[in-house]
Amino acid sequence: MRDLVKKFPQQLEHALEIAEQSVIKGSDPCSSVIITGLGGSGIGGTILSELVGEKSKVPVLVNKDYSLPGWINSQTLVLVSSYSGNTEETVTAMEQALEAGAQVVCITSGGKVMEMAKAHGLDCIVIPGGMPPRSCLGYSLVQLIRVMVFRQLIPSSYLEEIKLAAQFLLSEAEPIQSLSKAIAARLVNKIPVLYAIGNCEGVIVRFRQQINENSKMLCWHHIFPEMNHNELVGWTEPHPDKVVVSFQTTFTNKRTQKRYEICRPVFSKYAADIVDVVAKGRNLTEQFLYLVHLGDWISVDIADLRGIDAVEVNVINHLKNELARFE
């Protein structure tokens, strides 16, 4: 897993090459976009929806279940993201999209999704297989951007920003890994409480998922300013086993930033530690990918400190095996 994390910038570059070579034919007008996918296959959609939120010409929603909204129709662009191509929730949602006559584009390495795409003559971008889905965010995210650029729903500049971001992450490799080790040492044997400061929930969700799967630890996340209206009231007694970690961009609303500054002394009073991470990067794309890459490194560094295998996910495999017996 360390090797896969290390190669994330190169994966972004390879994903751009795949995007350039991919053939997409569909060009019907659409009034909305739904990205359906789960886990490591679906997080790219969550991140994308926030990254392009202010510039997308249509609403971009994310689906992480078996069913799609009842309002989808021929004007809905459904982007099916399943790394293996066999994610049962995503396959079921894809079947519903086809029944509703939606415009369907697939991003996968194979499986049932690819078979269905071929059978229905759908646009399908094929990405390299054989890796843990959570290690392939770069492949799925870039292809999602590629489709939306092709459909003229977002500016083509996003692809150039990805290219520059990959170069930026390579230039920051040593500082990122050094910072990761320092943060991991503060989180090991604690329960991380993760906060996204501003509109970057997808990034903090990614970090939570990586801690869950790579570090084999429980944690939770929340976002500012929403947590000010509920979770903040829970900080009324000592929590010596909790460490607050904030991920922040420099594009955060000033009042949201002020809210965190007011709350921080409260966390300091009751939590064991506070770790603030301010993203580096010239634009939101670079800052999102900086935080993603740093979070990935932290998760594998924690795994090393705990002496565990970051790759294995036996409990998920057990769940899938049990579900396969259930009809």
* Parallel/antiparallel/unpaired status of strands 76-82 and 103-108: parallel
Determine the Cα–Cα distance for residues 260 and 265; give it in Å rounded to an integer.
9
Report which of 175, 226, 182, 161 is spatially closest to residue 200, judged by C-alpha positions.
Answer: 226
**Residue 206 corresponds to which tokens in the numbers above?**
């990614």
The burial class, CB within 10 Å (0-12 / 13-18 / 19+), for 121 is exposed
Q: What percent of the chain has pLDDT over 70?
A: 100
User: Tens digit of pLDDT for each residue in 229-260?
Assistant: 999 999 999 999 999 999 999 999 999 999 99
- Residue holding tokens 């971008």? 125
8-state DSSP, 279: P
Domain parsing of the chain, residue ranges: 2-165, 172-306
Report yes or no: 28 and 54 within 8 Å, Cβ to Cβ. no
Instruction: Identify the pLDDT of residue 322.
Output: 86
Quick check: helix, strand or coil at residue 274? strand
| Helix and strand totals (H; E) in the chain | 12, 9
Same fold: 2-165 with 172-306: yes
Instruction: Identify the pLDDT of residue 318.
Output: 86
| Domain 2-165: which CATH number of 3.30.390.30, 3.40.50.10490, 3.40.50.2000, 3.40.50.150 | 3.40.50.10490
- Residue holding tokens 């965190």? 260
pTM value is 0.96
Determine the Cα–Cα distance for residues 236 and 232; give it in Å rounded to an integer.
8
Report which of 244, 212, 240, 218 is spatially closest to residue 231, judged by C-alpha positions.
Answer: 244
SS (H, E, C) the chain: CHHHHHCHHHHHHHHHHHHHHCCCCCCCCCCEEEEECCHHHHHHHHHHHHHCCCCCCCCEEEECCCCCCCCCCCCEEEEEEECCCCCHHHHHHHHHHHHCCCEEEEEECCHHHHHHHHHCCCEEEECCCCCCHHHHHHHHHHHHHHHHHHCCCCCCHHHHHHHHHHHHHHHCHHHHHHHHHHHHHHHCCCEEEEEEECCCHHHHHHHHHHHHHCCCCCCEEEEECHHHHCHHHHCCCCEEEEEEEEEECCCCCHHHHHHHHHHHHHHHHHEEEEEEEECCCCCHHHHHHHHHHHHHHHHHHHHHHHCCCCCCCHHHHHHHHHHHCCC
Instruction: Identify the pLDDT of residue 190.
Output: 97
Instruction: Identify the pLDDT of residue 85.
Output: 97
Query: Would you please indicate which residues are annotated as catalytic (active-site) residues?
Result: 213, 229, 320
Instruction: Identify the pLDDT of residue 327.
Output: 65
8-state DSSP, 232: G
pLDDT tens, per residue, the chain with 327 residues: 999 999 999 999 999 999 999 999 988 999 999 999 999 999 999 999 999 999 999 999 999 999 999 999 999 999 999 999 999 999 999 999 999 999 999 999 999 999 999 999 999 999 999 999 999 999 999 999 999 999 999 999 999 999 999 999 999 999 999 999 999 999 999 999 999 998 899 999 999 999 999 999 999 999 999 999 999 999 999 999 999 999 999 999 999 999 999 999 999 999 999 999 999 999 999 999 999 999 999 999 999 999 999 999 888 888 888 888 886
* Distances, alpha carbon 243 to alpha carbons 195, 218, 279, 297, in Å: 11, 12, 19, 18
Instruction: Write the class of the CATH domain 172-306.
Output: alpha beta
